[in-house]
Structure 1
Amino acid sequence: MNAIHRSTTDNARPRLVVAISGASGFVYGKRLLELLAELDVETHLVMSRAAQLTMALETDFKLSDVQALASHTHRCDDIAAGIASGSFRALGMVVAPCSMRTLAEIATGVSSGLISRAADVTLKERRPLVLMTRETPLTLAHLRNMTAVTEMGGIIAPPVPAFYARPDTLDQMIDHSLGRVLDLFGLDAGTALRWREPTVSAQPDYPTCIQEAP
């Protein structure tokens, strides 16, 4: 029998559950882990088997290197992991990216593995659950599942680029999207260009007015 661990709040680091599913956009999950490490957030990573396939197809990353970015890793079939229990305290959970299958499981409460189980736990404990959904065009089933998750308290946050930030590179677009996701947990990674806010990075020259047509 596994021992029951009694935790202490002394010097406790904030925790965040990070899941990477098999949708296109593996780099979002990997970069999220890097940003959270910089913020000294304890991360609990779970990757689906499809995510590992996507990683191999889309990137040159090694699984061991990605796992090393997380504070703790969990097998996708380990439903006895700590993050599968509501007693496991965390700021919440991000699925980056989130496939339509993972979305469907969360929307219907069908937990076939640790990702959907941890998401279900996050919702029932009324903690923020952010799904960076990746698919287009969307079917009616996708839209209904997004509605269901939203009605349960989850947040659907597709990684839509913000062009007002005038990104020059794909990395800047990724960082901005993840910066906005981390905003939802009260975490500032310093990667989101704030509209009309002074920042360390240079702000583009926004127009102060729009000329009316004669």
Structure 2
Amino acid sequence: MGSLDPQVIEDLGKGVIQLLSDGTVLRSNNIDFDYPLDKNDGSVLIKDCQYDEKHQLHLRMYKTPSIITSSRKLPIVVFIHGGGFCVGSRAWPSSHNCCMRLATGLNALVVALDYRLAPEHRLPAAMEDAFSAMKWLQDQALSEKVVDDEWFHDVEFDRVFVLGDSSGGNIAHHLAVRLGGGGGFEELAPVRVRGYVLLAPFFGGVARTKSEAGPSEEHLTLAILDR
């Protein structure tokens, strides 16, 4: 009977994500990060929201109390995490710590989104989710409650910047292509994207890039990335 049990056929990151022979995907909730979450001493306010009810997707907003009491209108930074399209979360230390620093360093409202992960959700699911998050942002801008909302009453919805890390940079690129040169204003008004920042964006194609030529990363090997 044991020989008929599903077997591990792919293992990414020493158990971080495993693909079984029956198609089941297992993700570990016990990941040993080399660095901790930055402690919040109250200098940053944090709020989690659901932006896609159908797919149960959430985002996390960051804002400093001093910004909330300011009369100056603030830009919005949309942060898209990396992870090879297969792992990662807005709550991972690498994402959370970065967004904490962006909120305090840029004096901006930072919006970090989760998206559906492969291989359960094949691309372009992640790109569709990024657009869905932008539509959610538009809903907030058009809401009658926005003038009384402490998170949105003092932001400039037409001054949005999208920052993507690694595979998040790839998603940001595809979002830019979809929204076009006008920053999506025609379909997202009053929201408009003014710029994109791609941090070590993750791209691949038929021809090998220099980074693909080697040396290979420990976990995201070329063989895994090709799949």
Shorter-chain TM band? 0.3 to 0.5
TM-score by length of 1: 0.32
More helix as a share of residues: 1
Q: Which of the pair is proportionally richer in strand? A: 2
Normalised to the residue count of structure 2, the TM-score between the two structures is 0.31
